[in-house]
Amino acid sequence: MPLIKTNLDKLDFSKLYKQQMKKSTFKSKSSTDWDKKAKEFNQNIKTSSYTKDFIEKIDIIDCETLLDIGSGPATISLALANKLKVVYALDYSSYMLDLAKENAKEQNIENLVTIHKSWYDNWEDVPKADIVVASRSMEVKNIKKALKKLNEKANKRVYITTKLGGSFIDKEILTQIKRDIIPRPDYIYILNTLHSMGIFAKVDFIKTNNKRFKTLNEDDFIQRLKWSLEKISKKEEKNLREYFNSTYRFKEKNEYLTWAFISWDIEK
């Protein structure tokens, strides 16, 4: 007799993910938003330990090509470019890709190929690669479709990272706002969606300094919060400014973000 399905099969994690993304306070950014943020992002990522921690977990044995989805300025791609024949950087921000080319030129790297596409474009002409990575770029509407795209483009291995917990803003800052904040889906939605697809992934974690709101400038602090929250009322802004001047600007203790590092091998 066949095995009877467990009650886990009653849970559709990809559907739950979609519902949570739709409800979340934190909305996805457009390519225009990232064009404006690209220069600052490119500078910040160069001084972060995240890239080093990420590439240390990648197995490139017997691999010649890498496809970096949501590559930004191609920090991950370029960090491995000298060990591979070709690295492809795919992003929907044209300015991010311009910075990727500049970074490659500065590092004398000639095997970077940029691809201007989004998660929602047709990927038929996107080349397959031995390794596919999606580093901190899994903010999609339909997680199952996105994971299938990654899996279909990989010859050997896939590596992705996503936020542990659904907010980049720490609880102390959110307390000043005094309203309910609905988080994005946690990494566990992705892990369980993969399980439902018959992909049994491994999970590790990367801990990094959270410099997203670190600044000595009050207006800059507010603007960074507006980037994440989009709308801040006058009363909320007043509370946040008071908090910044009385507490936040004097904080010496580092704040951290934890990223779930999810990987799997392609079944032949």
Strands 202-209, 256-265: pairing kind = antiparallel
pLDDT at residue 19, rounded to an integer: 93
Q: With a cut of 90, say whether residue 263 has pLDDT above it.
A: yes
Predicted TM-score of the model (pTM): 0.88
55-69 core/surface letters (b: 16 or more CB in 10 A; e: else): beebeeeebebbbbb
pLDDT in tens, 30-78: 777 666 666 666 666 666 788 999 999 999 999 999 999 999 999 999 9
pLDDT at 66: 98
**Average pLDDT over the chain, rounded to whole?**
88
Return the percentage of the chain with pLDDT > 90, whole number. Answer: 56
Listed residue (45, 25, 4) closest to 167, CA to CA: 25
225-228 LR contacts (CB < 8 Å, sep 24+)? 225/169, 225/173, 227/37, 228/26, 228/168, 228/169
Tell me, what's the pLDDT at 39?
A: 65
| DSSP H or E segment with residue 229 | helix 218-229
Which domains, ranges and CATH numbers included, belong to the chain?
Answer: 8-168+182-211+254-265 (3.40.50.150)
The CA R_g of the chain, rounded to the nearest whole Å, is 20
Q: Tell me what pLDDT residue 13 has.
A: 92
